[in-house]
Structure 1
Amino acid sequence: MTPADLSLTVQHAVRRAVDDGALRVDVPPRVKVERARPGGTGDYASNIALSLARPSGRSALDVAGVLKERLQGAPGILAVDITGPGFLNFTLRRDAGGDLVRAILAAGAAGAAGAAGPPYGHSSALSGTVVRFAEVTESRARVVTDVVVRLLRSQGADAGFGGDERIHVLGGDYLPGTLGVDAARWSLLRAAPQDRVLDGPPLLVQHERNSLFRVRYAHARVRRLLVNGAQLGLRPSYETDIHAPELLGVLGDHPVALLSAARHRAPDRVARHLEATADALLAFQHTVLPLGDEKPSAAHQSRLALAEAAGTVLAGGLSLLGISAPDQI
Structure 2
Amino acid sequence: MTPAELSQAVLSAVRAAVEAGELTVAVPEQVTVERPKNKDHGDYATNVALQLAKSAGKPPRQVAELVSARLAKVPGVAGVDIAGPGFLNITLDAATQGGLARTVVEAGEAYGRNDAFQGLKINLEFVSANPTGPIHIGGVRWAAVGDSLGRILRAGGAEVTTEYYINDAGVQISKFGASLHASANGWPVPEDGYVGEYIGDIAKQIVDAHPGVLDLPDAEQLEVFRAEGLKLMVAEIQRSMEEFGVHFDVWFSEKSLHDSGAVEKAIERLRAQGHVFDQDGAIWLRTTDFGDDKDRVLVKADGDTTYFASDAAYYLSKRDRGNEVNVYMLGADHHGYVGRLKAIVACAGDDPERNIEVLIGQFVKMLKDGEEVRMSKRAGNIITIDDVVDWIGVDAARYSLARSSTDSTLTLDIDVLTSQSNENPVYYVQYAHARMSSVARNAAQLGIDKGAAADFKPELLATEWESELLGMVGEFPRVVAAAGELREPHRVARYLEQLAGTYHRFYDNCRILPRGDEEATDLTRARLWLAEATRTVIANGLGLLGVSAPERM
TM-score where L is the length of structure 1: 0.71
Partner of 1:73: none
Q: Which has the larger radius of gyration?
A: 2
Query: Which among 28, 38, 44 is matched to residue 30 of structure 1?
Result: 38
Aligned-partner SS, 2:487? coil
Distance change in 2, residues 1:139/1:245 (3 Å): same
> Pairwise mapping of residues 193-208 of structure 1 onto structure 2 (< 5 A)?
193-195=406-408, 196-208=410-422
Q: Where in structure 2 are the equivalents of 1:1-329 lying within 5 Å?
A: 30=38, 33=41, 77=77, 86-88=86-88, 90=90, 92-93=92-93, 95-108=95-108, 119-136=110-127, 137=129, 138-161=139-162, 162=318, 163=326, 164=328, 165-172=357-364, 174=385, 175-195=388-408, 196-237=410-451, 238-240=456-458, 241-243=460-462, 244-286=466-508, 287-329=511-553
Counterpart CA distance in 1 for 2:515 and 2:106 is 29
**CA–CA distance in structure 1, aligned partners of residues 36 and 89 of structure 2:** 19
Instruction: Return the alpha-carbon distance in structure 2 between the equivalents of residues 33 and 134 of structure 1.
Output: 44
- Map of 1:18 onto structure 2: none
User: What CA distance in whole angstroms lies between the structure 1 residues aligned with 2:422 and 2:512?
Assistant: 21
Shift of 1:159: 2.5
Q: Give yes or no for contact 2:97–2:467 (8 Å, CA) kept in 1.
A: no
Partner SS, residue 88 of structure 2: strand
Q: Check whether the contact 2:94–2:461 (CA below 8 A) recurs between aligned residues.
A: no
- Once the 2 structures are TM-superposed, how far is the Cα of residue 189 of structure 1 from its aligned partner? 0.7
CA distances 1:242-294 after superposition (whole Å, capped 9, x unpaired): 12111101100000010111111111110011111111111222421113553
Decide whether aligned partners of structure 1 residues 252 and 31 sit closer, same or farther in structure 2, where only a CA change above 3 A counts.
closer
Q: Give the residue type in structure 2 aligned to 1:263.
A: E
Q: Percent of pairs identical after alignment?
A: 39
Match of 2:14 in 1: none
Structure 1 SS opposite 2:154: helix
Contact between 1:218 and 1:278, CA under 8 Å: does it hold in 2? yes
- Cα 1:182–1:231, aligned 2, differ >3 Å: closer, same or farther? same
- 1:285–1:325 distance in 2 versus 1, CA, 3 Å: same
Helix, strand or coil at the partner of 1:133: strand
Partner Cα distance (2:45, 2:358) in 1: 44
Contact (CA 8 Å) 1:145, 1:167: kept in 2 or not?
no
SS at match of 2:413: coil
Q: Counting strand residues as a fraction of each chain, which structure ranks higher?
A: 2
Deviates more, 1:303-312 or 1:78-87: 78-87
Q: Extract unaligned runs of 5+ from structure 1.
A: 2-21, 35-43, 54-58, 69-75, 112-118
Structure 1 CA distance, aligned partners of 2:104 and 2:123? 31
Mean Cα deviation higher: 241-250 or 286-295? 286-295
Tell me the secondary structure at the aligned position of residue 361 of structure 2. Answer: coil
Paired position in structure 2 for 1:7: none
Does the 8 Å contact 1:170/1:194 carry over to 2? Answer: yes
The RMSD of aligned alpha carbons is 3.7
Contact 1:134–1:166 under 8 Å retained in 2: no
Contact 1:191–1:197 (CA under 8 A) maintained in structure 2: no
Is the 8 Å Cα contact of residues 184 and 200 (structure 1) preserved in structure 2?
no
Contact conserved, 1:32 with 1:48, CA < 8 A, in 2? no
Decide whether the 8 Å contact of 2:145 with 2:402 is kept in 1.
yes
| 2: CA distance, partners of 1:201 / 1:91 | 44
For 2:160 and 2:79, how far apart are their aligned partners in 1? Answer: 34
Partner Cα separation in structure 1 for residue 149 and residue 481 of structure 2: 11
Deviation at 1:190, TM superposition (A): 1.2
2:475 & 2:521 partners in 1: Cα distance? 28
Partners of 1:310 and 1:28 in 2: CA distance: 20
